[in-house]
């Protein structure tokens, strides 16, 4: 059984995910909609986040309280670049972090994870096999709902693999422009025989300060 996967993202009115300041209060206020069991984060997103400058620590992290109902944070990190699990936990939103690794994740990083008591799920040869990792999260951690916290690359891989159930887009009243393709769905251009993913509108709602919240079901 695979979990339901939801991409919740903030975009400008011209479809970019960068070059503007999202209304984080509104963005995270809506996250409660899905009651996620797991937040699935891309390594580049976390390396760009506030905690990225926190010092790495190999001190064992506290084991989660069995009664703690906060979500898990699963980090797609085959290259072993995220060393800020302690700082991410200290943010208070998650009960535990989990590293999603592959067969080629550096041994040094696997040793860091083991020393810090951070669970590692290994799936895939080079990059993380996301379908297998989602299946492991469901089987080992009971994950039924996964919310993706990422830029366009991880979301792009999940969308092309047909693993996403819902896309939630918070359209901000701002136009960024530019020539780089920074949308929340980054992937190779469609071939002549390929089709775009059909999306069914679930709801369209004005959520204040000129922001429109669009929810689409996929599949
Ligand atoms: N506007 C918004 O709502 C929003 C939300 C979040 C982030 N952002 C912004 O987005 C930017 C980061 O986005 P990004 O697109 O560069 O990075 P990203 O979405 O974090 O994507 C990179 C992740 O995708 C994984 N990945 C790439 N190809 C893969 C494949 N074929 N199979 C499996 N996993 C694969 C990488 O894994 P490995 O590490 O294992 O290679 C990495 O974890 C930041 O600037 C951040 O601030 C915006």
Last residue of a domain, one of 107, 126, 143: 143
Q: What is the pLDDT of residues 7-54, one digit of tens each?
A: 999 999 999 999 999 999 999 999 999 999 999 999 999 998 866 777
Give the structural domain span for 124: 38-143
Best residue among 101, 127, 186 to mutate for probing ligand 1, ranked by most atoms within 8 Å of CB = 127
Q: Find out whether 102 and 129 touch, Cβ atoms under 8 Å.
A: yes
Closest CA relative to residue 175, chosen from 9, 10, 19, 8: 19
Closest ligand 1 atom to residue 8 Cα is 3
Ligand 1 pocket member 130 (CB < 6 A): yes
Ligand 1 pocket member 3 (CB < 6 A): no
Last residue of a domain, one of 122, 143, 164: 143
Token pair in block for residue 31: 């996250």
Same domain, yes or no: 119 and 168: no
pLDDT given for residue 163 in this prediction: 98
- CA-derived radius of gyration, the chain: 17
Residues of the chain with pLDDT under 70: 50-51
Kindly report the CATH number assigned to the domain that includes residue 191: 3.40.430.10
Ligand 1 pocket member 12 (CB < 6 A): no
Q: Find out whether 103 and 122 touch, Cβ atoms under 8 Å.
A: yes
Q: How much is the pTM?
A: 0.95
Phi, psi angles (nearest 5°) of residue 71: -70, 165
Same domain, yes or no: 179 and 201: yes
Closest CA relative to residue 22, chosen from 167, 211, 183: 211
């Amino acid at each position: 059984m695979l979990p339901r996967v939801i991409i919740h993202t903030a975009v400008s009115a011209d479809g970019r995910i960068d070059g503007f300041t999202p209304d984080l209060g509104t963005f995270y206020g809506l996250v409660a909609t899905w009651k996620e069991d797991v937040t699935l984060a891309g390594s580049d997103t976390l390396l760009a986040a506030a905690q990225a400058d926190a010092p790495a620590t190999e001190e064992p992290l506290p084991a989660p309280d069995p009664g703690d109902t906060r979500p898990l944070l699963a980090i797609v990190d085959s290259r072993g670049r995220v060393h800020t699990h302690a700082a991410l936990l200290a943010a208070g939103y998650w009960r535990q972090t989990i590293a999603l690794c592959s067969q080629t994740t550096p041994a040094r990083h696997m040793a860091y994870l083991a020393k810090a008591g951070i669970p590692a799920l290994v799936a895939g040869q080079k990059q993380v096999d996301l379908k297998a990792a989602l299946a492991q999260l469901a089987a080992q951690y009971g994950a039924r709902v996964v919310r993706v916290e990422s830029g366009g690359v991880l979301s792009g891989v999940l969308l092309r693999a047909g693993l996403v159930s819902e896309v939630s887009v918070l359209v901000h009243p701002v136009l960024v422009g530019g020539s780089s393709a920074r949308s929340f769905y980054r992937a190779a251009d469609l071939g002549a025989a390929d089709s775009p993913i059909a999306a069914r509108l679930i709801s369209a709602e004005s959520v204040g300060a000129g922001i429109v919240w669009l929810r689409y079901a996929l599949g």
